[in-house]
Amino acid sequence: MAKETPQRSVGVDVSARWVDVERAATDEAVVRRQWPNTAAGHRQLARWLTSGGRRARVVLEATGVYSLDLALALQRTARLEVMVLNPRVSHDFARACGQRARTDASAATALREYAARMPFVAWEAPSTAALGLRAVMRRVAALVAMRVQEQNRLHALDAAAALPAVVRVDVREQIQALGRRIARLEREARAVVESAADLRAAYAHLRSVRGIGQRSALALLSELAVVPRQLSVRQWVAHAGLDPRPIRSGSSVHPPVRISKRGNVHLRRHLFMPALVAVRREPAVQRLATQLAARGKAPLQVLVAVMRKLLHAIYGMLKTDRDFDGEKFRQSVATAD
């Protein structure tokens, strides 16, 4: 019986122009190479990793648009498995391994070590529609932030009569132009949702919550649609950075429990306003907020708890393909108590 060829462990550090790669196996020495971060470079890298008919497990960091095309190209390659790692996780792992310097080569080394030592969770590539929706809605979020900045500038200009009127006119025109661009992108986002049955159904479920409007539903869906399906609700909460991080040491070190904030900041921000509105408009959510306030929780603590519980509810809605049910939400809160 032929002996199976050892699998390679591969670490890939991605930058805008280059991809630094380190590979090794139990019967191979560590080899480092650099490839251009282009479609042609991705093809060459895939051939190199699978040379000799070898299988390989590849770990790379999630670095937005710079790593997306590479991850998709490697994931489509036979004999390759890809894991996309949270950069904070890889940073903590490198520190635990005693790595102090941070270079492209050392990052690739740490990622290869992670591939060899740690549990491997294969990356599930999101659909083209989901990726498109996220790109559009992240652009919307950026334009909304720009509009808020311009509105603040206009407020300051209106308070200073000595400044030229032409500046105020220009800022107003910029605010109006940003509004038109935001509206156009949101129409495009709704078209993407309508083009995919799964996104269309999920959007309708999100809108069933009193407190999640059209823009919030699109924004939440854009982030949730690319989350791997196999994650549990606890992992969803951790992905959003809403998981509590208690610190307890001895009998005297007991600071207040805070959330980790070590997750998807976009998802966490998109949950804020729906939670704030749901506390006022959704009776079941309002009851939860009232109970927490009665226990002495500060307003911000109440809101964060509502965000976390609302994410639990969204998880259940999308998993079971059902609209929001206030009675089930109330029962889940009572069970948690």
The structure tokens 């948690």 sit at 336
Structure tokens at 320: 């079971």
C-alpha–C-alpha distance, residues 313 and 233, integer Å: 9
Superfamily of domain 8-117: ATPase, nucleotide binding domain (3.30.420.40)
Residue 332 and residue 310 in contact, taking contact as beta carbons nearer than 8 Å: no
Whole-angstrom distance between the N-terminal and C-terminal Cα of the chain? 58
C-alpha–C-alpha distance, residues 75 and 70, integer Å: 8
C-alpha–C-alpha distance, residues 262 and 227, integer Å: 15
Q: Classify strands 80-85 and 18-25 as parallel, antiparallel or unpaired.
A: unpaired
Q: How confident is the model at residue 239 (pLDDT cuts 50, 70, 90)?
A: confident
Residue type for 15, please? Answer: S
- φ/ψ of 323, rounded to 5, equals -75, 170
Residue 219 has pLDDT above 70, yes or no: yes
Other CB atoms within a 10 A radius of the CB of residue 223 amount to 23
Query: What local confidence, expressed as pLDDT, does residue 36 receive?
Result: 95
C-alpha–C-alpha distance, residues 55 and 47, integer Å: 11
Q: How confident is the model at residue 86 (pLDDT cuts 50, 70, 90)?
A: confident
Residue 277 has pLDDT above 80, yes or no: yes
Q: Where are the domains of the chain?
A: 8-117, 128-195, 198-246+263-337
Q: How confident is the model at residue 1 (pLDDT cuts 50, 70, 90)?
A: very low
Q: What is the average pLDDT across 213-224?
A: 96
Q: Which of 93-102, 160-169, 252-261 has the highest mean pLDDT?
A: 160-169
DSSP state for residue 253 in the 8-state scheme:
B
**Residues 241-251: tens digit of each pLDDT:** 888 765 555 55
**Residue percentage of the chain with pLDDT more than 70:** 94
Residue 92 has pLDDT above 50, yes or no: yes
Query: What local confidence, expressed as pLDDT, does residue 253 receive?
Result: 47
Q: How confident is the model at residue 187 (pLDDT cuts 50, 70, 90)?
A: very high
Whether the pTM exceeds 0.85: the reply is: no
Residue 139 and residue 185 in contact, taking contact as beta carbons nearer than 8 Å: yes
Query: What local confidence, expressed as pLDDT, does residue 71 receive?
Result: 94
Q: How confident is the model at residue 114 (pLDDT cuts 50, 70, 90)?
A: very high
Bridge partner list, 19: 14, 35
**Residues 56-85: tens digit of each pLDDT:** 999 998 877 788 999 999 999 999 999 998
Residue 336: exposed, middle, or buried by beta-carbon count in 10 A (0-12, 13-18, 19+)? Answer: exposed
C-alpha–C-alpha distance, residues 80 and 50, integer Å: 7
C-alpha–C-alpha distance, residues 143 and 146, integer Å: 5
Structure tokens at 160: 């200073």
Query: What local confidence, expressed as pLDDT, does residue 152 receive?
Result: 96
Q: What is the DSSP string of 98-144?
A: T-----HHHHHHHHHHHHHHSPP----PPPHHHHHHHHHHHHHHHHH
Residue 2 has pLDDT above 70, yes or no: no
Considering the chain, what is the average pLDDT of its residues? 90
Q: How confident is the model at residue 261 (pLDDT cuts 50, 70, 90)?
A: confident
Sign of CA dihedral 192, 197, 200, 203: negative
**Residue percentage of the chain with pLDDT more than 90:** 69
Long-range CB contacts for residues 316-324, cutoff 8 Å, separation at least 24: 316/233, 317/205, 317/206, 317/208, 318/202, 318/205, 318/224, 321/201, 321/205, 322/205, 323/204, 323/205, 323/208, 324/205, 324/208, 324/209, 324/282
Residue 222 and residue 267 in contact, taking contact as beta carbons nearer than 8 Å: no
